[in-house]
Amino acid sequence: MTIKRLSLTNFRNHLSTLVEPDRHFILLTGPNGAGKTNVLEAVSLLAPGRGLRQTANVEMARRDGPGGFGVAARLDDATEIGTGTEPANPDRRIVRINGAAAAVNSLGERLSVLWLTPAMDRLFADSPGGRRRFLDRMTLALDPRHAFHAARYEAAMRARNKLLADPPPWDEEWLGALEAQMAEHGAAVTAARLATVSGLEASQSAGDFPVARLSLANATDGLGERLSRVRSLDASARRSTIGPTTKT
């Protein structure tokens, strides 16, 4: 889907802004502080997550405004999507699709948004975890259910870490159930990531720019059993030391 109409209300330095693009490629120009990046941030909020700047909801409302903000868009299939906060509860983000309340993750089913900014140049020298998070944003743009499996995996991992924080003996059945969930959803997460990497490689063409070589190490085989073997290690480290994807 593409955005046919974008409106900002009390967002950052925008009191009321309306953008109705008529081209696929848009170039924003203006002096520093004009609000160019704020427009891009507003678009990023129309996807699951905390947006381009990763800031708290309350910080995105216009400083001399009423306390809340709104970002709304009309897509090329006439779907209306929007997000924002209310002055009475500026920390709680609201999402609406065609006027009805919806979950934040449901935005991924309507619009795919991906960004790469100069501030992200550390991505290429960052840890594998940082690259996996970037890969997950690309994967989510192609597979909206990726967010579901990733969230379930993270929830099971947090519950397992919390259980391992207690002194042994641990509840073996409960740990086994959590590790089975991690293995199940971890396999789905890795499969989606691999499909994205495969698609990126297939889309490259030789030309003036070098062709990137992309790889992802799949570590889902026997993940549940391996998790059970490293319980003591994870308890000492206070985190999960292995996962479904090891290198990016």
Return the pLDDT at 206.
64
As a whole number of Å, the CA-based R_g of the chain is 21
Give the C-alpha distances (Å, rounded to integers) separating 40 from 36, 61, 98, 115, 229. Answer: 7, 15, 22, 9, 46
Which one, of 166, 136, 165, lies nearest residue 151 by Cα? 136
Helix axes 146-164, 128-142, angle to 10 degrees: 140
In three state form, how does the secondary structure of the chain look? CCEEEEEEEEECCEEEEEECCCCCCCCCCCCCCCCHHHHHHHHHCCCCCCCCCCCCHHHHECCCCCCCEEEEEEECCCCEEEEEEECCEEEEEEEEECCEECCHHHHHHCCCCCCCCHHHHHHHCCCHHHHHHHHHHHHHHHCCCHHHHHHHHHHHHHHHHHHHCCCCCCCHHHHHHHHHHHHHHHHHHHHHHHHHHHHHHHHCCCCCCCCCCCCCCECCCCHHHHHHHCHHHHHHHCCCCCCCECCC
Return the pLDDT at 140.
85
Structure tokens at 232: 């003591």
Question: pLDDT tens digits for the chain (248 residues)?
Answer: 789 999 999 999 999 999 998 877 788 999 999 999 999 999 999 998 889 998 999 999 999 999 999 999 999 999 999 999 999 999 999 999 999 999 998 898 888 888 888 777 777 777 777 888 888 988 988 888 898 999 999 999 999 999 999 999 999 999 999 999 999 999 999 999 999 998 888 877 766 767 778 888 888 999 999 999 999 999 999 999 999 986 66
Q: Look up residue 84 and give its amino acid.
A: G
Distance of CA 163 to the CA centre of its chain: 27
Which one, of 94, 112, 84, lies nearest residue 3 by Cα? 112
Return the pLDDT at 82.
96
Neighbours of 127 (CB within 10 A): 10
229 CB-contact burial (10 Å; exposed 0-12 / middle 13-18 / buried 19+): exposed
Contacts by 123-127, CB closer than 8 A, 24 or more apart:
none
Return the pLDDT at 142.
83
Give me the residue label for tokens 């944003």.
Answer: 137
Residue range(s) of every CATH 3.40.50.300 domain in the chain: 3-109
Return the pLDDT at 36.
94
For residues 17 and 7, the answer to whether their CB atoms sit within 8 Å is yes
Return the pLDDT at 214.
80
Q: What is the CATH number of domain 3-109?
A: 3.40.50.300
